[in-house]
Structures are given as structure tokens and as C-alpha cells.
Structure 1
């Protein structure tokens, strides 16, 4: 694409800045240098170096060398040679403009004067003996991730018998450099289990293992890889990896009670991701659809489901700025490994991402709204479909009628208070920022409408609008000079080619106003007159569409023109217009929206729905929010791509919001980040850690790749091979590197353990720890209970009817995430999660011992065993769970366990104890229950209700005995599981 290019690699402006920063002071004399060494260097060392030296750089500023001083920190250049008035360092020591350095005690007047003289004389610095300090721009210029992808050739194979794919050639080269040897190949049983879990998240069946182990075909392994890649289970496993990146959840997080908590469109997005992986949708198209499917695939309605990537984030109680911030974060970290959201309040402290770039992307998403659209026709019989459509129409009609009425009423109130909204423009600091404005009453001034007036007047000023030309000129006069200058500015001639001032406006300002408040009153009366004329005309002629007088009609359009008028309430869903309405209207409309949403989620014949992101009718340019404060807007930030990739002269986006242009810039083959990030994510899932160990941060703070040539080779293969994810899988999985044993066994094991304890050089395979989903699904697979249905609305995993579907299809509830998810390191659905934590905590063992789910799986597996032959049953259990026979020691231990159980059956517990079958302790009869022991309602996975039960998401359910806790009864043990209720123990 024409505007996306690497400028060696980050722009000529950066390179120029580097040259300027590194250049010595011009014409510095020996006396200047001597004065620096005598007066300035000791001052910098004593007063500044502790916070701005080699070890620490507060605000990104370093003062122990000239180059970083000239470059400056987060606030800009610290020193401008010859211009102390423009140097932030001088301002700071003089404690001007809110800058106060050093923070504890000011410099003496003599010290401050010396520093100012030094800057004024050119900021001399010795050319010899100065510490070699790399500036941030120099670091950016050489950073591996910002440089173009190389086209490395695989090195010559060292051991041709070991090098099966080019992946092995790159790995073997690193082995040779370190003097290490690879581990032997794993046995076939291990390989089929490894492949099956990596590609499908499920264990192979015992029969599949036996067949593979006994297969004499030399291509059996390759065929196994292809079979698993073609499995429908593959898409489910790799969709789950992507859903962590996409911060997937079925609910919005905490929202006001008036709003439905569940997303209608979440299942459709999840199912789209599953299908995309199963179909091997090219990765560039995979990303393009998730950002701009509405524009990239206008003829494929099913592609709209992909937009859940952007729209399924947390809703932050409707605070628009936070919602957009979340979208910027998931797009930039998820696709390019850039932490752009760190630039919300200031330039990025480490990476070349200025605040202006953040707000350029903010403008893209600011100019979008959401629409709920069906992806298919309803299912069921003709009668069922008709009943569904009739009920849906009734609810939609009520919603649309309510929205239309609320919009019209809100617009009418704004038109009746034009003077009030113009008065608000005189001091916008009194208008609450978006997200901090709750309109309680119908007669409140609406901050969102005040900001719409602000944008309208700014556009009118830029266009030299003939209606608001007097307003623009008068508003520019300082208050103290208003009376003296008003007549003069109103008499100024119009610009060349400019339309004359609207005749009605010119008449209203035939005499100059005494103050700006009087100008507001005149505009208010003028618009009120036009409003009355329009009302009279419509009364006489209901079909009228315009006023006869063109000047009056121009004024009427300010009040009524769709999309453009500052009185217009956008024709958008309640989620994006609620800020224009008072609280009572919002509550009513959210209730009507909830009726529609719940019908679409509860009806068995309802089709899947997508929340399509679409461009707004009116496109507005964003402004930088100073320090991230929406109430303090700064310069315009044209919508464009990131300068670190596209260069400082990247053109602004020109088509609508710019979302399609943004998506195309992300997937441009010359973008050095996107392909690298994706192949690194694939690698990390197969080896436990990526070639880059920070999969969503390829910035300056990231570690360099362990195998940089391999990373670029894979990225190039991805792009040149049509962005096929399955092709990258095959390259990795067919390698000898992947097939190694995890427990070593090579000739250099001891040396390798010392030289490379973290296995970054891949001299063995890292063991695979099962995720929660893999462990739960494996238990169901082992018992033959796994429900293999693909897709559809999720259901709670625990509570109520037992759920035997894959864990992927369990409800992910942001607000009430089951504690068992947290205990087993499930991804936090509030955030983009690049890789999961791996913890070992007691609650994990307690779940296995106490929770009904593993107990039920044990009973189901036991029911499949043949009675009377303990050895055969033991072998069957091991085959079902581990796909192997027990060892001699395991078989002996099993026989001993079964014999002990048969010889000494446990006594039946008291009836009272049966009620407390999971995690319990006894109340001391002397002291009785503690004061905070309270019966709690049952939580069924979706809401509180039912009889008196004690919910513990880790230890299971505990029912309270009749009469509550009394001395001698049982009470639940304390649980530290995340999300569990506090107990009395």
C-alpha cells in the first residue's frame, strides 16, 4: 500500500533528530567547556543524576550526556542551545509553568543563573571523555522489531539426519554455537498425546494411540499431523488461544441494573473464530474482518460476526473513553505487539509512540457505532419462525418507538435552549467531561449536546460559516477589550470569495453588543424567531419541507438538519446515544433494549446475531486530551497509522472513520510487526514460550528473540505462503526440534542445564501443563461423556444441569467469573491476555478432592469397568485416562488400595455430615458458631436464588442443616479461592 513504509526504519525526522542530538556544541570555546566543568557538571551530578542518570530516568529524561539532554524526555527537549526561554530545564529550575526541579529544594539564584548562561551560550559539552549514552531515538532506530523483516536463508545443516525442516537448521546453528546437542526423539505414545493436546486440546483415544504406535508407515507422523489439523476439534482449541487475546466474555462486566448483562453476539464471534481456524482463513483476512468486516466484506453478512473482536470488551459503565481505550489496546497489542494504550496520557516512555498517535487511533473508533444484525434466518418450523418474528417485531417496535420519541424530545429541548448552549461555550471548563455527566432531570443542560455545539461551532469557524461569522469574531475578543473592539470586528470586510453574512444575522448585529453575553441573547432570540416561523408554517402546511426565505431556512437547518445540526440526536442505538438523554429516558430505553436482547438469547429458534461496527454518519476529527483528560482537549490529531511503522509523513485516513485503512495498514506485508507477532504466538503455544517471551510487547523493553533469523524466516513464510496458519503449524510440528523428549537424554544434558537452564536454545522440549479447559475436557473424554456439539450459546459449566460440552462453550461471566476458573489460571476476561499464568496452589488439589465434577467423572468411569477383575479394571482406567498400561508399581499400588477398601469399608457418616460433603469443619460445642456465620443463597452460575446453601466455587456446595448452625453441627471450612464468599472458619 502506498502510505505504509519503513523509513530506515522509523522516519527521516527521527534520523535528523538523532544527528542534531549527537552533534557537538557549535563553536564552543575552551572557556565554555571549562565553565561547564566548573559550574554545570557538578550541579547536574549533585542535583539531577539520582533521578535522571544511568540507573533511573524519571519522565524519560537523562542528563549525564548532551545528546539525551537535547532529546529530552516525555515533555520534550530539555535543552535548546542558545534559547534558554525555550528550554524546559531552565524553566524547571526557575520553577515556571508548573515545572519545579529539583523537587525538594530549589537551586540558589546563582546556580539557576549559571545554568541559564550555559544554555544561552550554546550548552557546551566536552567532546572527549563524555560518557557514551544512547538516545532513545538511536535505540528505536536499531530495535529489532521496528526494522524490516529480513529474508534469511536456513543455515547449512550440521547433522543432516536431525534437520528435518528449516526450523531445525536455525535451531541446530544455535546448538552448535553453544556446544550443545539436542535430545533424542520422544516415543510415539508421547508424540501422539503431545500433538493431540497441542492441536485439539483433547487426548487421543487408546485405540488411536495403539494404532499410531504400531503403524509401520514411515510417514505416519506426517499423516497424524495432517489429520489433527483437519479435525474440527483443532478450531476449538486454537480459538480458545485467540479468545484470550481478544478478552472474550459472554457478559459486559458490571453494568447498571437497567441494562442486560449478557451480550447477544458473543457466541457468534466465538463460533466465527472456531470456523476461521478450521477453514485456515488467511491470517491477514482473519485480522481484516475482525477490524473492518462491514467494509472489507460487504457482500458476506456472516463475516460481521468477526467484529466481536472489537465490540466484546468490557463496557466500563458506558464511559466512552475507556471503551475506546480498550479497543485500541486489544487491536494494537493483539495484532502488532505494541502497547499503544500507554500513550493515552503522555508520549510512550519507552517506544516511539507519541500521544498524537494514540488519539489518531482514538479518532478511528470514536467515529464508529454499533448495530445488532442477524447472521441467518430463524430456525424451526414455519409456525415457530412466525411466532418468533411476531414477538421480536413487537419488542423492536416498542424499542424503536421509544428511541424515536426520546430523540425527538431531547432535540426539542435543545432547540428551545439555544442561548443556554451558546452560553456554555463561553466557559467549557464548566461542562463535565464525557463519562462524568449524569443527566438526572429533563431540564438539565446536556453536556454531550454542549460538546456537540462546540464541535459544530469549531467546524463553522473553520469554514467561515456566514451564520456564525459574527460569533467567531466576537468570541475572539478578550473580555476586557470587548466594548472597545466589538464594532470594529463586526465591520471587518468578508474574506475574498466568502459568502456574505446571513441577512437575518446581519440585521441582529446591526449594532455591536456590549458583551459576549448580549451576543448570546441575540443569537438565542434569532433562532427562537425562526423556530416560531417554522412551527406556524408546519401548522398551516404539514407537508412543508423548508421556509421560503433562504436566510431563515439556513438558520432553520442549524436547528433541524439531520446529522449536522448541533440539536440533532444521532440515529444510533441506545448504547451510543444514552449521554444525550436524561436518566429516566435511559432507564426506559435500556429496559426496552433488554426485552429485545433477552428474546434473541432465550428463543430456541433465534438466529445468531452480530454487533456490527459501522461508521457514524458525521465524521469528527479527534483532539489530543492533555494528560488523558477529556475536559482538557489540545491539538487536532488527524486519523492515521502509527508513525513507528508508516513514518512521520503518513497520510491521514480519508475514508469514513479510517477503520478499513487501519486494518489494511496492520496487515500490510511490509509492516514488520504483524507477521512476527502471529508466528511468535503460534510458537509459544507449541513450546511453552515464544521466540520472543513477551508475545504482546515487541517494544524496546522486550527481550530480543532467542532465534531472530528463525522468527523472520517464519514470518516471511507466513506472508509468502498466503498467510496460512496451518502451514506454520506443519513447519513447526514436523521438525525434530518439536519431537524431542522433554526430559533430555542427550550427551550434553548436564552442560545444557548449566548453560541454558530455561531451555531458550531448545535442546529439549518443554513439558506441556494442561490448561483448565484441557483438564476438564480430558476428564469428559476419558469417561466417554464429552458432548462434541460445535457452536451455539454457552451454558454455565457448574451449577444446575450438568454441562458436558467442551469448556470452550461454557459461559464466561466477567462479573461473576467462577472461582474455579481463577484457581486454574483462566484468562482474565477483562483484559487482553497474551499468555496465561501457571500456578500451583492448594485450591487446585481441593477441587480435585471435593468438587462434584471430578467425583461425578470418577463414578462415570467406574461404571464402565468390568466387575470382578481388579487388574483388568486398573488397566482400563489407565488406558482411558493416560492411554497406557500402568507400571508394575502403579498396578501394585492399585491392588493394595482396592484390597484395603474392601477389607475396611468406612463407617457411614452421620446424616448431618452428609449434608456437608464438601470441605467442612466442626463447630466447637463450647463456643458455638462465630458471629459472621450466615446462611447464603444458592448461586446457580447465573444468579443468586434457591434455598439456603453455602456456595464455594472451589470446594463445592454445602447445604446448611435445618435450624442453621448450632453447637455440635458442621460448618464450611474457610476457602481462599478467588471469588468465594467469606465463611465462618
Structure 2
């Protein structure tokens, strides 16, 4: 049987075992029980001013604490005098004829009823015995009732014995044993949440083996539907179906956590490990991806990404949610009251609340829109491919790290080429054509000179390959130099006040018989003071 399922069954058994004992005691005797009869009255009518909340404590009196309730007050009176309701200030004040002195005050809005006053008086008369809240009392294994008589065979386990004993006390007869068809349906619904089909029912009905029932249960425990069914209940506690909340209400991508819970239940993970990995999986030594995914239990908090919100405020809201959820899920108690003041009913102080808060107040998430920090998850196939690629990279790195004569020679050649000075070669036999049909000349040193202005013009400069670089040399680039000239206004570089405008530049190297490759610009440098460059297109 799954450890998680065992935990549920144990809880159910404890409930079944404890409840009859309390009921039996109350019916078997006139003695009042503090938790059953007195605590609810004090909790609802008195603890707001006379409970564990120090910030709202009146007259220094705590009625939740027997030491405080039984010792004399500053006034000299004693709130509770065991076996003497007449001398007990508690009874005197809840029955006082003066409305200003009667407790609780009228402003509280909850005066005690006559029945409640009589109950308190009777309890004090019986000695005013206090008791801890049953939830904080260490459970003790009760004695299993002994069943005798005709129903002895009906009780097959301790739960049956407690159930039957209570039924007999009330004069009830147990029902007859269900037929096998009904039993199969009940077991299927309990364990996997689905009814059996006809074949599954017939298989169990026709199985005459003494362990037929156990075999059916084991079969259901080993089915994937078992984990899926019970995971739904845990996922509700983990707020799995909740969105990120607030205005946008976005959904979360957190299915990997759902799958983790299902696997944990189907793998029969021990409950202590189930707890540790969800609350602190990232703090384990060298946590696995699975243990990191488990911590998503506390990633389902609300995040607010509206404009103008304060990230630190909503980060704290998330921490508060984690504290309250942890205590509600694992301890079965509500802590939310103590975040503003010491709990008015349970023995939890505000200081204790924020001690727990401090544990969770060290997280990396901070109300970010991208929900970071996140982890990447890979399928088994992807992990296998990753391993293969990493091995290939390691092999290639080993080859690169192993020196060879060929590699050394190639390295030397490459370094010489890189370190060699730039060898620009001036082009000759240049031919210039202007689309405006205005004139342009080529100086003997290869410079193109323009002395006529056109509003718009396209200059085409052709250089035959025979006038270019030597054969078998590599053309690494073409450079267009613009140089000042005394013949231009202000000895500048253009006719427009010594400047000029370029809106488009294209350069092509056309080898004989091949398709023209398209050049690209690596760097453009403009000398002078008025460095204005406007390129409509760069190719």
C-alpha cells in the first residue's frame, strides 16, 4: 500500500477512533469537557479581549490560560475559583445587572446566553478543569472495543470494532455484507476514481481464490490511474489549478509538477521525502531536476504585473501565502490570523508566525512577469541526444587541443596574413560616366575630379580587371577615398561649400564569365569637421 495512502487511512482511523470516545464520555457522564463545552463559549465570547493576543489583552486576564484565570487579578478578585461559581469574577461579570460592568460589553455584540452561563457555572462547580486543544494533545492509541455475541464475526478489523460498538450503543444493527459486484465498484472508485467495466467486475466475482480481494487491490495500486486519482486531491492543496491571478489572470505552465506528484504517488515515495522535496528540494545537495520540479508546490502563488504595482509588496504577499498554505496542508491549522496579531483562539503568537515567515522569505522569485527563476526540462530522448552531442564536442576539442605539424603550418600562414600590413593598390585606367551628362575628369594619379554641379547625379566608375590587382591575388575590399582639392570651394572635397552628399553607394567586382557578387560595407570613415553621412541604402 502506498505510504501516502497509508497516511490518509491513518488520519481517517484516528478520526474514527477519537470521535466515539469523546461522544461516549459526554453521554456517559454529566461531567463537562473543556474542549467540547467550554472552549467554544470562551473562544466566541471572551478570547477577543482575554485570549492569547497580547496587543488586545484587557485587565491582564487570559481565559485561555488556566494559570492566568486562577490567579488573583490586580483588583484582588479571581476570575475563576474552582468549585465556587459565586466567588468567581467571571460569573459575576457575565451576569452583572449594570450594563456597563457586564461582560462582554454591549459594543462587542455577543452577550452570553442563559444556557452558556449555566454551562460555565456548572464547569466551575466541577472544579474548572482545563485541557489543551485536542489538536495539540499527543494522540494515544485507544483500546479496541471487544465485540461479543452474534456480531462478533462482523468486525474484521479495529475500525469495524469501533464502528460496530457505536452502532450497538445506539441500538443500530449493522448492514449485511455487500455483494462482490458492489465491493468491486467501491474499491475501484476509492482507489482510482473510476468505476470498473463489466469484464473487471466479472473477473473479481469469478475469482474464488482466498486472496482475490487483496489481488484486486494490488492491481489497482499498480495502475497509473491510482496516482492520477490521488494526485488530484494533493494538487488542490498545491493550488495547481489557480491562475497567476489579479487583473490579467494568466494561466501557468506547470504541468511538470503535476507529473511529479503522480509519479511520487505511483512510486510509493515515503511521505517524509515527499514533504522535504516539495518544501526544500532546491536546498538538497546537488538537487536533481525532479527535486527542483517538486518545489513548484510553492510556485502557484499570485503575481501582479499591472503597471504601477510594487514588486516587493506582492513578493511579500506570495511569502504570506506560502506560510499559510504550508501550515494548513501539513499541520491542519490556520495561521493567517497571526500575521496581523497573535492568534485569538489557537496558541500561535505573531512572533512565531514571522519566524516561519523568515524561512520562506529567502526566495529568488520577486513578482516578475516572466515568473523567473525557471528551469529547463528535457525529455529522456533529448537528454540522450545532449549526452551524444557533448561527447562529440569533447572529441572535437581533443582534436583541436592536439598539436600537429599541419596545424602549426596553417596557424603560421594565417597569422602572417592577418598581421601583414594593408596593401592598398591604386586603380588605373578609370572610366567615369555621370547620369547628368555633365563632365568629370580623371587626373594622372587616378583621382576623379568633378567641377560641374548637378542637382541629382549618379556616378558610374568602371575599372577593367586588367587595370586592377595582379592575377591570383585576393581582393579583400574596395576603398573610396575623398580628398580635399584646391580647385574646389574652400579647398574642400565638394562643390557644395566644400562638401557633398552621398545617398547610395554600390560596389561590384565582376570576374570574367561569373555572376557578379554583391559587396558589403565593413567600415565607413569620414575625415574633417563636418562629418555628416546619409546613406539611403547600403548593400
Larger C-alpha radius of gyration, 1 or 2?
A: 2
Q: Tell me which of the two structures has the higher relative contact order, counting C-alpha pairs closer than 8 angstroms and 6 or more residues apart.
A: 1
Task: Tell me the TM-score normalised to structure 2 length.
Answer: 0.47
